[in-house]
């Protein structure tokens, strides 16, 4: 028997079952997960709000994403379990939501949180990408000097990356526009 798991498909329905084609399907996956794991604080107050916020961002609904992430805020700087690195993913998504809403100063605060807590983020991808997003946030706030510095930090960090990586191409093009 395959292990039980959760996944999100392109229809944004949450499924629960033994495999992706299971007939046990629910659009109320959040409630089912809370029923299955009522005492798992990490799932209830950190990961489910984070997943729901990511779905809201995909729908370009930044206010709903920020609201979803309110639950995770008190826990995002907490110590992760030994088998999981702390990602500060809620702060990263909150910064993304503020960028989407063109609120550069609020986005700056969130992305700086990732850079100021490197001991939590470690080498998780959000730490590296926070530098790029910080540049975008400063650009949104019309602070071109800080935006250039943040882009430079990102580009130095990614200097040996494959030049065809889309996010690197985007960053280089955005940086060139700032010059």
The range of the structural domain enclosing residue 23 comes to 1-38
Give the pLDDT score at 7. Answer: 36
Written as one string, the DSSP assignment of 20-60 is TT-S-B-TTHHHHHHHHSTT-HHIIIIIHHHHHHHHHHHTT
Percent of the chain with pLDDT over 70: 75
Instruction: Kindly tell me the burial class for residue 176, based on how many C-beta atoms sit within 10 Å of its own C-beta (0-12, 13-18, 19 or more).
Output: exposed
Q: 122 and 91 in one domain?
A: yes
Query: For position 118, which CATH number holds?
Result: 1.25.40.10
Give the pLDDT score at 75. Answer: 86
Q: 28 and 64 in one domain?
A: no
Q: 72 and 13 in one domain?
A: no
Residue 173 confidence (pLDDT) above 50: yes
Q: 140 and 118 in one domain?
A: yes
Q: 63 and 23 in one domain?
A: no
Q: 31 and 63 in one domain?
A: no
Q: 12 and 76 in one domain?
A: no
Which range has the worst mean pLDDT, 5-9, 102-106, 154-158? 5-9
> For 50-95, what is each residue's pLDDT tens digit?
999 999 999 999 999 999 999 999 988 876 655 565 689 999 999 9
How does residue 27 score in pLDDT terms, banded at 50, 70 and 90? very low
Give the pLDDT score at 30. Answer: 54
Q: 133 and 72 in one domain?
A: yes
| Segment 7-34 mean pLDDT | 42
Give the pLDDT score at 131. Answer: 97
Q: 8 and 73 in one domain?
A: no
């Amino acid at each position: 028997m395959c292990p039980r798991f959760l996944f999100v498909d392109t229809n944004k329905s949450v499924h629960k079952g033994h495999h992706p084609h299971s007939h046990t399907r629910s659009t109320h996956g959040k409630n089912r997960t809370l029923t299955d794991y009522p005492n798992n604080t990490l799932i209830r107050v950190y990961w489910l709000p984070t997943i729901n916020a990511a779905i809201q961002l995909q729908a370009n609904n930044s206010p709903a994403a920020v609201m979803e992430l309110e639950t995770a805020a008190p826990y995002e700087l907490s110590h992760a379990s030994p088998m999981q690195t702390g990602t500060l993913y809620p702060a990263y998504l909150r910064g993304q939501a503020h960028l989407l809403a063109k609120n550069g100063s609020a986005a700056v605060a969130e992305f700086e949180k990732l850079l100021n807590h490197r001991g939590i983020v470690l080498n998780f991808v959000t730490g590296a990408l926070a530098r790029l997003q910080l540049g975008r946030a400063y650009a949104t706030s019309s602070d071109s000097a800080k935006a250039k510095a943040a882009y430079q930090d990102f580009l130095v960090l990614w200097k040996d990356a494959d030049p065809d990586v889309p996010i690197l191409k985007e960053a280089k093009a955005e940086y060139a526009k700032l010059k």
